[in-house]
A and B are shown apart, each in its own frame.
Chain A
Amino acid sequence: MYFVIKNLHQLYRRDYSIKSFKFLFKGQAISVDFTFVFAIIKNIHNYWGKMFKSVSSILFWVVLVFLVSGCGTSKKSSSTATNTTTIETKKTTESKSVVHKILKRKIPTLVVVMNWNDYSESDPSLWHDKIFNMTKNSVNQWYAENTFNQIEFIPVHETQGNVDDGVIMVNMNKNHPGGKDKREFRDTEIRSAITNAAVVNNMDFAALDSDGDGSLNAKELQIIFIVAGGEQAYGDPQSHSIWAHSFSFDSDSTLKVDGVYVMRYTGENSTSGTYTCFGANHGTHKATIGIMCHELGHAAFFLKDYYDDGDGSGLGWYDIMSGGAWAYQPSDAYAGETPTQYTAFNKIDAKLDVNVTTLSASDEVTLGCSGRDFVKLTTSKSNEYFLLECRDTAKAHSDISFSTADTAFGDNTLFAMMYHVDTDKTDNTEDGIQTENNHYMVEVVEKDSSTLMTNTTGIYADFSDVYTQGDLITKTNLYDGSNTGYSVEIVNADYINREMTLKIIKK
């Protein structure tokens, strides 16, 4: 009780340094994240002033009572990390099970802008906005939409320039070393940047080691290196560019800052540190967010790549972990401004808050088309299954981009997609032609004859790939040719409630 009173007192006295407090409730340790409350109150104090102080007081107590009372009604397990709350429920019936996980996470993030003698960036606010600003086209805005506000990259506490904007500018005191391979770039330039006085003197890395294991993992700190110059993946000259990537230092790395290991691979995702690296410019314009969101999918959630390596499209524009990183809506000026969503597979793989209805028998299911409800059809092989989802081109910053690739998608269309997953495969770099032994890990089951997988002409999404009301999906054989007995009918697309009803038939 002492801590409750102390924390409340701090908060009410406008001491915003606290972000959460812990207490016992009905025998359970409860951790309440106060970031949201804190933001509201700070906003009121800063902008409304004394005139509305009484309003802010009322709002404060209303929100507080709501939060505390909510703790007693949910089955909740509290994490030791102050930025994480997990709720998990599971319902199972004879033919299906529904798994519902909620993961709320704020990931401390440092942006290091690497300036060279011949190429440099001068405006840290531009990079702050591109990564963190929720009101602009940013990495955080994309993640808010595509993870249903479950994931947010938050600026670390740092003291250079605009304090706590999360951006530190570093002068590398040399010309751009373009053309270096990434391991060499890591061992020279990345190491030099993170140990630069501008970083070390303006930030406390040890304070981020919330589990106290002496090493910062991917959830404790994300480091984004914005490299002044060009972006090779965009086609900029290698002489002054870097190819965007995600990486770690090896497990025998001795690189420590403030006494803790940083960006170190440990062999386990849960304990490994990671970083991402991007060119600051795409040709003559500033980098777009698509490949930033893509690489953070690797660095923060350990997702894989699902593009093909040049002679097929992998998951094409249907997933940001594939060509969707470069997607753009018709009104955009540049590629990558409006990247598409994660497919159902990657949302599940990233352990996002999604609803998966697992079926092994006939059933009828109504799915929301917000990208959160999926159907999994199990088969006789444990490594092979099908995933179904409904997608919506009216979603503001994601799937509207499909209309750029094919105008038939339009800007207000509900459509279903099905994926054939083989977990025995490791990636989508197999031959584009899908055969029993040579196929992707995650394949789009196309409505028409397969073109996406082998297309090399730049068509990354095609309305004839997807399913709409009245369609019957029958391409449900396993890769060895055996019949699963499944067929799926798109019974109804409800444009009022933005949902779709699927009839699954299992013979």
Chain B
Amino acid sequence: MKLLTNLFVVSLLNIAAFGAPALNRKITFTQPDGTQFVGKQKGDASFHWIESGSDIVIYNPKDKYYYKAIVDKEKGIVATTQKMGQRGDKVRGVNAVVLQEADPDTTTEQTLRFLHKKAKQADTPR
């Protein structure tokens, strides 16, 4: 799990400062095993995610599956072990869109915005 988390955090940061905006439309994503789910991409090359219903979703380049995620202001978008479009492997007690309890006034939307801005600012040539 920790390895998975680190993998995602690394892949979401340190990307180009300027990227194309995501095309705003519903997309059917297909998992390697053929299962599908529908979502919208958000963000850009610096920081992006998928919104599927109330779920935040990110991609694991290692096994090429899309996973549900939780949003954390400090850790970024953190993958759970629950693959999209599949049953089971649910992380007990974790709602994918509930934020850390320490900051109840912060919404998922605000945190994603914060993370995106942080990633974009960090993502300039040095």
Interface residues in chain A, defined as those with a beta carbon under 8 Å from any beta carbon in chain B: 178-183, 186, 232-235, 237-239, 243-252, 265, 272, 291, 294-295, 298, 304-305, 307, 309-311, 322-323, 325-326, 335-336, 427, 429, 431, 458, 460
The reply on B53 being an interface residue by CB < 8 A is no
- Residues of chain B lying within 8 A (CB to CB) of residue A180: 61
A232 CA / B42 CA spacing, docked (Å): 11
- Residues of chain B lying within 8 A (CB to CB) of residue A246: 16-19
Among A310, A325, A336, contact of B112 (Cβ-Cβ < 8 Å): A310
A294 CA / B20 CA spacing, docked (Å): 7
A304 touches B44 (CB 8 A): no
The reply on B45 being an interface residue by CB < 8 A is yes
Binary CB contact string for chain B from 1 to 36 against chain A (1 if under 8 A, 0 otherwise): 000000000111111111111111101011000000
Q: Which residue of A lies closest to B113 (CB)?
A: A309
Kindly list 17 other residue pairs between chains A and B, CB separation below 8 angstroms, not including A295-B19, A336-B23: A233-B19, A235-B23, A244-B45, A246-B17, A249-B125, A265-B126, A294-B21, A298-B18, A304-B18, A309-B43, A309-B117, A310-B43, A310-B51, A311-B112, A335-B23, A458-B24, A460-B24
Across the A-B interface, how many residue pairs have beta carbons closer than 8 Å? 136
Q: Which residue of A lies closest to B60 (CB)?
A: A179
Interface residue tally on B, bucketed by range: 35 or more
A307 touches B44 (CB 8 A): yes
A272 CA / B43 CA spacing, docked (Å): 26
Question: A232, A246, A251, A309: which has the most chain B beta carbons within 10 Å?
Answer: A309
A311 touches B21 (CB 8 A): no
Interface residues in chain B, defined as those with a beta carbon under 8 Å from any beta carbon in chain A: 10-25, 27, 29-30, 41-45, 47-49, 51, 59, 61, 64, 109-110, 112-113, 116-117, 120, 123, 125-126
- Residues of chain A lying within 8 A (CB to CB) of residue B43: 309-310
- Residues of chain A lying within 8 A (CB to CB) of residue B116: 309-310, 429
Q: Give, as a whole number of angstroms, the nearest-CB distance from A130 to chain B.
A: 16
Q: Give, as a whole number of angstroms, the nearest-CB distance from A407 to chain B.
A: 19
A239 CA / B65 CA spacing, docked (Å): 9
B23 touches A233 (CB 8 A): yes
A304 CA / B44 CA spacing, docked (Å): 13
B24 touches A238 (CB 8 A): no
B126 touches A243 (CB 8 A): no
- Residues of chain A lying within 8 A (CB to CB) of residue B117: 309, 427, 429
B24 touches A243 (CB 8 A): no
- Residues of chain B lying within 8 A (CB to CB) of residue A304: 18
A183 touches B16 (CB 8 A): yes
A311 CA / B17 CA spacing, docked (Å): 19
A181 touches B14 (CB 8 A): yes
Given A245-B45, A251-B126, do A182 and B18 touch, yes or no (CB 8 Å)?
A: no
Given A251-B126, A431-B113, do A244 and B59 touch, yes or no (CB 8 Å)?
A: no
B126 touches A250 (CB 8 A): yes
Q: Which residue of A lies closest to B108 (CB)?
A: A311
Q: Give, as a whole number of angstroms, the nearest-CB distance from A429 to chain B.
A: 5
A182 touches B23 (CB 8 A): no
28 contacts between A and B (CB under 8 A): A178-B61, A179-B11, A179-B64, A180-B61, A181-B10, A181-B11, A181-B14, A181-B15, A183-B14, A186-B16, A232-B41, A233-B21, A237-B64, A244-B45, A245-B15, A245-B20, A248-B125, A294-B20, A305-B18, A305-B21, A305-B44, A309-B47, A310-B22, A310-B109, A311-B109, A325-B20, A326-B23, A335-B23
Among B12, B21, B48, contact of A325 (Cβ-Cβ < 8 Å): B21
